Amino acid sequence: MTSSYLSASEYATQRTQLLALMSQLRSVGAQGELDLPRIAVIGHQSAGKSSLVEAIAGIHVPRDGGTCTRCPLECRLVFAPEWACRISIRREFDSSARRIRGEVSEIPFGDLIRNRAEVEMMLRRAQLAVLDPTLEIARIIRMNLQELKETLQDPKTAQFSKNFVCIDLEGPELTDVQFVDLPGIIHNASPEVIQLIEEMVVDNIKGNCLILVAIPMTDEMENQKAMTFARQQDPDGLRTIGVLTKPDLVSAGSTTARALWRDVLEGRKHPLHHGYYCTRHPDDEERANQITPAKARSVEATFFRQTAPWAHCTEQQRLGTPNLVSTLSRCLVQRISATLPDIVQKADDHLEACRKALSALPEPPTDDPAAHLFELINTFCAELRQAVQGSEENTDLIHRHNSLYGAFKGAIARSAPGFVAGLPAPFMPVAVVRPNILTDGEDGTGPSVPIYLSDVRETLNRARTRELPGDFPPAAKAKMIRDFQVTWEREADDCFQSVMQSVSDLLSAALELLFSRFSNLKRALWACLRRLLQERAQDCAKYLGAILEIEKLPRTQNDDILKAAADKWMVKYKDQRGGRTPMILNLLPRHPHVGPPTDTVFECVLICSLASAAPRPNLTPAPAPTASPPQPSPNPFHTPAPTPALNIPAFRPTTPFMRPQSASGVEPVDEVLSMLARLGFTGLREEDLGRLQAGDDYETEIRLMSDVRGYFEVSYRRIIDTVPGIIDSKFVRGISGDFQAQLVAEFKLGQPEGNAKCAEYLREDPAVIAKRADLVQRLNMLETVQKELLDFGSGGTDADGLD
């Protein structure tokens, strides 16, 4: 016989090239990236799997009691005029059984074998080299059978491995085919070993794999766990081929069993897309007599031709090893041809993804670590300065700080004293009065706690010592000023802490962006920056403390501003006292389950504006009033005032929706101001008319309220500018100006002793180094895969011999 069963076919050349391409791709580890077509042989420990492999490959594999195949055995058969064998080892997994992502190669094990009798022993040695990578190859090759068995029993030697022993066979009786023989499924071992083998089997039969299941006819089909695994991975039976083994062990009297297996073979039971095949292999006596492969195939053919029920089977093309090998070769080549375009596309996609991942990593450190570190620090400080100073592209930090300063301003505004020029009404449960607390045009949030005239009088009485009537003690004014400043220190500290956190977040993000690859340097920089932040924060806190301490002592050089503010509030409070200013009352009933005061059940706005337009004022002294019963005051916060000296009617409220018109169409206020000017009272404005009110029992209290409220405006405007200014100048901008010089000094850049320190700091994170190395290995492997695929597409792949 000059050729194998199919080697003379018209597609033999293409088949040889496709199988050679798959061998080359697997040899460089492409199976870890691409789902390459393959055949996997699985079965129970005593299913006749080893005999099947021997029949297909024409060699003897290791046979011992128990499990002999302890790692995957990849057989690659090629037709050739002369017989030869080469054994190699391919490690695709590390010592922890994790797949190696990157370049993989096959290492030749021993010399080229020309004598079939030497193959079994060399396979035993190669398997030991896979199980124990620490052993020297030269030492293993010198071991005899007894030494091999003893070493395999050493506890340091792994029981099983996922790495491959590869056998390249060529010869005149071989058909071009490739398959992987997996360890037999066992039951009499530890749970860990059983699980390891089953996981290995399942992993290898997933995806683009033809599953060849060895099924002994001495057992029932339902007991074949290998068939169960095949159905799980190939539920439709499109990739599974069953091989019925040991037909010679089914006695002639077992008619039921023979009929059942014939039904399976002829497709009436347990059908599969590719069906079942039946093979007969040499028994122990024939192997002891060293039967040749050719003689074994002849005995097999005679058996099926002369033995019932196989001699009468309608599926004669499914009997014998040659028919099985022919089908395996044809199915594998078809699968390779069908999936090759997809393999090429996936190889290109994986190569492109690998290149992108590699380009995303930073370049390896330069040979001048000090210069490189100086450049990194300059970049870091420039980014920080830009963020602090602000630019068209970098406004986040400025916007965050402006928002924090605005919140500080609002908190200070809410500390304004909530003076009310009236007395609390007994029928109102909890009332919060909100007069305007800043300027007429400013929409500020008023205080939450009202301070009534009675409260101010109580404060005056407690502080009074030897003052003259009508004077108020300085201690009373000082106390009221301290009262509205009581929260300022906390609000300033909250604002400062928030700014510090904002700057810290900025620095942390910048460090992560620029120095994430250098873990040692990042830790050292962060420690240095935190120390500088603390120093700057302590310095800034001293300035803030001094400013807040100064504010505790009432003082100002802006006498005119203070007087104008006090006069304004005097008019406001007198208008409120006289009932000409709307009272906005927020009634806040409390409930034990409602929560804090902000949880209002309802808000009632009561506008008390009861004055109306009056006729033109009469500036002549009024006649003595006739006795009449007292009239109730329309304002619940108003107490009756003495009879005015001048008969000037009460002014209308200052709210625009209540401004009356005179018959002539001229504003009444304008008429009054015009009349006063004719009498010599020039330069008066509308707000000055409040001073024409007669004396009041609470005149002293109103003066004190006006002075304190006026001083609040002065100190409020001062503090909302000073605190943010100190934080910005002494902390934020101070940091951006200090860092570069401090960091250069910290890392001793430019000094001889600094070079070694810089090199240590610029040592990359081991994870980054490992990732780059992994990507480089993957890139090399994928480029090799792409080259092999391109060479195949251009007709450059030839099936070379083993020599």
DSSP string for residues in 725-746: HHIIIIIIHHHHHHHHHHHHHH
Percent of the chain with pLDDT over 90: 40
> What is the per-residue pLDDT for 251?
87
Scored b (16 or more CB within 10 A) or e, 724-749 reads bebbbebbbebbbeebbebbbebbeb
Q: Over the chain, what is the mean pLDDT? A: 80
Give me the mean pLDDT over the 549-554 stretch. Answer: 90
Question: Which among 706, 713, 710, 714 has a CA at the least distance from the CA of 472?
Answer: 706
648/689 Cα distance (integer angstroms)? 10
Q: Please give the residue that has the higher pLDDT: either 747 or 436.
A: 747
pLDDT in the model for residue 668: 78
Task: Give mean pLDDT, residues 314-325.
Answer: 94
Beta bridge partners of 41: 181, 212
d(CA 237, CA 216): 19
Query: For residue 406, what pLDDT is reported?
Result: 94
User: What is the number of other CB atoms lying within 10 angstroms of the CB of residue 699?
Assistant: 15
What is the model's pLDDT at position 602?
A: 27
List, as own/partner pairs, every contact residues 20-25 make where C-beta atoms lie below 8 angstroms and the sequence separation is at least 24, other chains included.
Answer: 20/78, 20/797, 20/798, 20/799, 20/800, 21/336, 21/788, 21/789, 21/792, 21/797, 22/178, 22/336, 23/76, 23/168, 23/178, 24/788, 24/797, 25/785, 25/788, 25/789
Nearest CA-CA partner of 356 in 743, 646, 782: 782
pLDDT mean over 241-259:
91
Q: What is the pLDDT of residue 13?
A: 80
Residue 102 zone, left/alpha/beta (φ > 0; ψ -120 to 50; rest): left
**What pLDDT sits at residue 665?**
62
- Do β-strands 177-181 and 38-43 pair in parallel, antiparallel, or remain unpaired? parallel
Mean pLDDT of 606-626: 35
Residue-wise pLDDT for 735-782, tens only, equals 777 677 777 777 767 666 666 677 667 777 777 778 888 888 888 888
Token pair for 128 = 């030991």
Return the exposure string of 327-361: e unless at least 16 CB atoms fall within 10 Å of the residue's CB, then b.
Answer: bbbbbbbebbeebbeebbebbeebbeebeeeeeee
Per-residue CA distances from 707 to 183, 418, 704, 742 (Å): 98, 13, 5, 50
User: Which pLDDT does position 301 carry in this prediction?
Assistant: 94
- Torsion on CA atoms 776, 780, 786, 787, rounded to nearest 10: 150
519 vs 35, more confident? 35
Q: How confident is the model at residue 131 (pLDDT cuts 50, 70, 90)?
A: very high
Summarize the confidence of residues 694-712 as an average pLDDT: 87
Q: 75-106 in b/e burial notation, b at 16+ Cβ within 10 A?
A: bbbbbbeebbbbbbbbbebeeeeeebbbbbeb
Task: For 486-544, write each residue's pLDDT tens digit.
Answer: 999 999 999 999 999 999 998 888 888 888 777 777 888 888 888 888 988 999 999 99
| Token pair of 676 as six digits | 């006063």
Strands (E), 450-584: 450-452
Higher-pLDDT residue of 543, 610: 543
Percent of the chain with pLDDT over 70: 80
pLDDT tens digits, one per residue of 647-697? 333 333 333 334 455 555 667 778 888 888 888 888 787 767 766 666 678
Nearest to 41 by CA among 236, 192, 185, 193: 185
DSSP-derived letter for residue 116 is: G
pLDDT at 690: 63
Handedness of CA 616, 617, 619, 622 (dihedral sign): positive
Could you tell me the two tokens for 649? 């009617």
Does 436 score more than 70 pLDDT? Answer: no
Pairing of strands 84-90, 164-171: antiparallel
CA distances in angstroms from 275 to 144, 216, 272, 699, listed in the order given = 43, 16, 5, 113
**Per-residue confidence band for 718, with pLDDT thresholds at 50, 70 and 90:** very high
Across 20-29, 192-201, 602-611, 686-695, the highest mean pLDDT is recorded for: 192-201
Mean pLDDT (whole number) for 697-711? 91
The answer to which of 462-476, 478-492, 565-579, 787-801 has the lowest mean pLDDT is 787-801
Does position 22 have pLDDT exceeding 80, yes or no? yes
Q: What's residue 666's pLDDT?
A: 66
- Cα distance between residue 28 and residue 716, in whole Å: 77
pLDDT at 594 over 60: no
Higher pLDDT pick, 620 / 767 = 767
Query: Could you report how far apart the first and last alpha carbons of the chain are, in Å?
Result: 23
Mean pLDDT of 202-211: 93
- Confidence at residue 580, expressed as pLDDT on a 0 to 100 scale: 66
Encode pLDDT of 256-297 as tens digits. Answer: 999 999 999 999 999 999 999 999 999 888 888 888 888 999
Q: Is the dihedral of CA 42, 43, 46, 52 positive or negative?
A: negative
Higher pLDDT, 444 or 698: 698
Beta strands, E only, 418-493: 418-420, 431-433, 450-452
Q: How far apart (Å, rounded) are the C-alpha atoms in residues 548 and 337?
A: 84
Contact indicator for 176, 77 with CB cutoff of 8 Å: yes
Q: Would you state the structure tokens that stand for residue 261, as one six-digit string? A: 């297996």
pLDDT, one tens digit per residue, over 102-126 is 668 889 999 999 999 999 999 999 9
Burial 462-481 (b: 16+ CB within 10 A, else e): ebeeeeeeeebbeebbeebb
Do 583 and 433 touch, CB atoms closer than 8 A? yes
CATH superfamily of 12-354+789-793: P-loop containing nucleotide triphosphate hydrolases (3.40.50.300)
Structure confidence at residue 520 (pLDDT): 78
The reported pLDDT for the residue numbered 490 is 95
Residues 186, 46: contact at Cβ < 8 Å?
A: no
**How much is the pLDDT for 795?**
64
pLDDT (mean) for 799-803: 59
φ, ψ of residue 243 to 5 degrees: the values are: -125, 115
The reported pTM is 0.57
Cα(55)–Cα(639) distance, rounded to whole angstroms? 120
Q: Is the pLDDT of residue 636 over 50?
A: no
Least confident of 208-217, 304-313, 385-394, 540-549: 385-394
For residue 605, pLDDT beyond 50: no
Given a contact cutoff of 8 angstroms between Cβ atoms, the answer to whether 101 and 777 are in contact is: yes
Q: Structure tokens of 687?
A: 């707000």
